[in-house]
Structure 1
């Protein structure tokens, strides 16, 4: 019996010493339309990798990124991988990055982009909140609703109102009918609202309805995390908000 106990303890110690958290996957790039790609990088949450989505838009006059890779103040490897992929695969300079709100999954790679000479832009509120979070400030120049063109590709940025955060914007590619919703929009593959520590739950639903009114013709809707699809993601976000509100204890 003593010998068996010793063997079991030895096996447990050996397992504990070799068990490691799940490794963080490398960058994944997925084409979704002509000259438009989703870049997916991973952050770690409770020891497990979680995907974060952004866009790569090849305008013919340089690359526009929507959101950085999911990085931290001390580790910008995801965004560095993204820059290497663009250089190796598209052989175009990155001209601009638009960040959609101030969380690290969207702004964490600002330092790497700045070192590479890439301009990063946001709304003034996102710039302010990014600095408060301890990251380098993007250029806070975007108004609440504006369209600009790079290489004959129009890009619209739109602030629908508070939701996931007080500063979240969406990005619309009218030629391709693609809406990048960021973390403001929840994938149909998820069953909760995710992190809501800075959310405005009472305003979020009306903000989603504004997006539906503006971009209801979208062929593709890209959420900040997990799988993308069509405008069902907007309807799903409203359903999740309704369920969350119904589950709150009544006073």
Structure 2
């Protein structure tokens, strides 16, 4: 009888634990050097809290963000934490935020940015697709390949071709030799391609090769998710794509 009671209690506890919503860790900010930092926020992917990386670029003329926090239209707390961290620690205004494609881990905090009076910019395609996903439209001012300078820091936004999405772009900081690959680039810690619902798996490989040709000298490559490192992330992305293609042929 006692064994049955213990078993019933264990099953009840397991059921209760499974019913609880997955808790997301708070914002993490990690310096890459004295000017560029990675902001990491968490979303829920396949019932697990999963990290998403963007950049904080601290220039003499203010801060540039690459991607918002991973948010939803109903909950923009990640981006709120990000803006609070910048205000409390860098004491400079955010000039604008570049969003690198239309998924919620890149554009989810647009409404919070707007509330704070911060301009969000993207390509015209990303702007259109963001609206289709239910987010406010970023300003569609970025061409497919452009370089501008803020506070003596050159920033290049480059569309390499379709891959993770049809609109994914990367951000290159030539003076820092840092490449923000976003979800277009897979971390060396990744075992698979992740979310490919909007991917062009046929073209992605060619697009990665263009990025390697353009930015193969990068010292640091920051993927959209998980750990960052060097250009091995680009080669790893090609390897994962090759495995994906082989699996589809079986």
TM-score under structure 1 normalisation?
A: 0.96
Any unmatched runs of 5+ in structure 1?
none
Alignment match, 2:37: 37
Counting only pairs closer than 5 Å after superposition, residues 151-166 of structure 1 correspond to structure 2 as 151-166=151-166
Aligned length, in residue pairs: 249
Deviation of the 1:39 alpha carbon: 0.2
Whether 1:9 and 2:25 are equivalent positions in the alignment is no
Which sits farther off after the overlay, 110-119 or 10-19? 10-19
Q: CA deviation at 1:8?
A: 2.3
Task: Quote how far apart the aligned CAs of 1:3 are.
Answer: 4.3
1:87-236 matches, within 5 Å, as: 87-236=87-236
Following superposition, the deviation at residue 124 of structure 1 comes to 0.3
Q: CA RMSD in A?
A: 1.2
Cα distance change on mapping 1:84 and 1:249 into 2, 3 Å? same
- Structure 1 residue 47: Cα displacement: 2.3
**Partners in 2 of 1:26 and 1:81 — Cα distance?**
8
Q: Give the TM-score taking structure 2 as reference length.
A: 0.97
Greater displacement, 240-249 / 174-183: 240-249
Q: Distance in 2 between matches of 1:111 and 1:55?
A: 19
What are the ranges of 5 or more consecutive residues in structure 2 without an aligned counterpart?
none
Tell me how far apart the structure 2 counterparts of residues 112 and 76 of structure 1 sit (CA, whole Å). 6
Question: How far apart are 1:191 and its partner, in Å?
Answer: 1.0
Distance 2:23 2:196 in 1: 26
Q: Is the 8 A contact 1:21 1:48 kept in 2?
A: no
Q: Helix, strand or coil for the counterpart of 1:17? A: helix
The runs of at least 4 aligned residues of structure 1 exceeding 4 Å deviation read none
Shift of 1:118: 0.3
Distance 1:125 1:159 in 2: 11
